[in-house]
Every structure is written in C-alpha cells, then in structure tokens.
Amino acid sequence: MKIKNVIIYALGVSIFFIGCQQLDNQVKIGLDDPVSVSVDDVNPDEIFYTGTVFIGDAGNRFGTDEYALNSATITDDTLNISVSYSGGCEEHQFTLVASDAFLESFPVQLSASLAHNANGDTCEAYPTENYRFDLTPIKTMYQEAYRQEAGTVVLQLKDAPDGELVYEFTM
C-alpha cells in the first residue's frame, strides 16, 4: 500500500510540473481576444494589450500592485508602454490615471501615473508586456479647456524612464 501511495504522489507531482511548463510556453494575443499560441511563433515586442484611461482622482481604486515601467513613447494619439511585473497566472490590468487639471506652463503639463491590478496573482514568473492607451480623452480635455483644436501636452508619467513625454496633436 505504501508503494502505491508514493507512485500516485509522484504521478500527481509530474502532471503538475508538466502543466506549469506548458503554461510558460503560451502567451495571450490580446485582452479582447485571448488566444494561446506558442511563444516561438510570436515576437513579444509585437503583442499589445489595451489599457484603460481614467481622468481624475482614482485613489487606489485601480490597484497598487508593483511593476517596472521599462519604456514609454507617444505615437499619434497612443501611449505605448512596456511593463514587467511578478505574476503570470492571473490577468493583470493597467490603468493610466491622469490628473483632471493641467499645470499651467508652455506647453501645459499633465501629471499621470499607472495603476496596476494584479488580481491577487501570486505566481513568481516575471513577464514583460506591452500596453497601448488611447490619449484622445486627454486631447478632448485640452480642447475643451483651451478652446483650440491643436495643442501640445507634456505628459509627466510617474517613473517614466525617459522623463517627460510630449503629446502633440492637430485638428
């Protein structure tokens, strides 16, 4: 009876490790359309998730979990970021939280930060993911405040590795 229990235990542990190893070799294509594919078939730099933009005082409502902001750039009306974090077993959400008031300077500035909700993920992998944020709510806020279609906003994104980000838009 003792040998049978040892064999069952060893078999269970083996199945667990095989399952975890298979999960490590898969990635999600996007939050809106999760599809699993082999990591060998996808360039991680080409996968982007869509993040949410919130303007105003969010408090801790969107999460306070740790992350590393690897890079941040603005292209047209899109903020592109690369983040790394501890986890990998649960879906994580990143929210761009922007102030609802511009700092008066030329050009105007806007304070912003990323909120990270790990959804209680306790896994110990360290994935790196790319996110895109639609900045048109910030553009709309600027256009309503200054009654101009075109403008420039310096986005002061907390912990941005290259400092300030310049968001320029035209009509």
112 CB neighbour count, 10 Å cutoff: 24
Q: What is the pLDDT of residues 12-42, one digit of tens each?
A: 544 444 444 333 333 333 434 443 334 445 4
- Of the chain, the end-to-end C-alpha distance in Å amounts to 78
Q: What is the pLDDT of residues 47-97, one digit of tens each?
A: 789 999 999 999 999 999 999 999 999 999 999 999 999 999 999 999 999
Query: Does the predicted TM-score (pTM) go above 0.85?
Result: no
Q: How many distinct structural domains can be found in the chain?
A: 2
Q: Do 160 and 115 fall into the same domain?
A: yes
Measured between alpha carbons, how far is 160 from 63 in angstroms, rounded to an integer?
18
**CATH number for the domain that contains residue 123:** 2.60.40.3220
Q: Higher model confidence: residue 4 or residue 136? A: 136
Q: Do 155 and 105 fall into the same domain?
A: yes
Q: What is the DSSP string of 68-135?
A: EEEEEEEETTEEEEEEE-SB-SS--EEEEEE-SS-B-SSSEEEEEEEEEE-TT----B--EEEEEEE-
Q: Do 34 and 58 fall into the same domain?
A: no
Domain containing 105 equals 44-169
* Per-residue pLDDT band at 162 (split at 50, 70, 90): confident
CA 164 to chain centre: 18
Q: What is the pLDDT of residue 164?
A: 82
CA atoms within 13 A on the CB side of 53: 21
The mean-pLDDT minimum among 8-17, 119-128, 138-147 falls in 8-17
Q: What is the pLDDT of residues 37-46, one digit of tens each?
A: 344 454 555 6
Q: Do 75 and 88 fall into the same domain?
A: yes
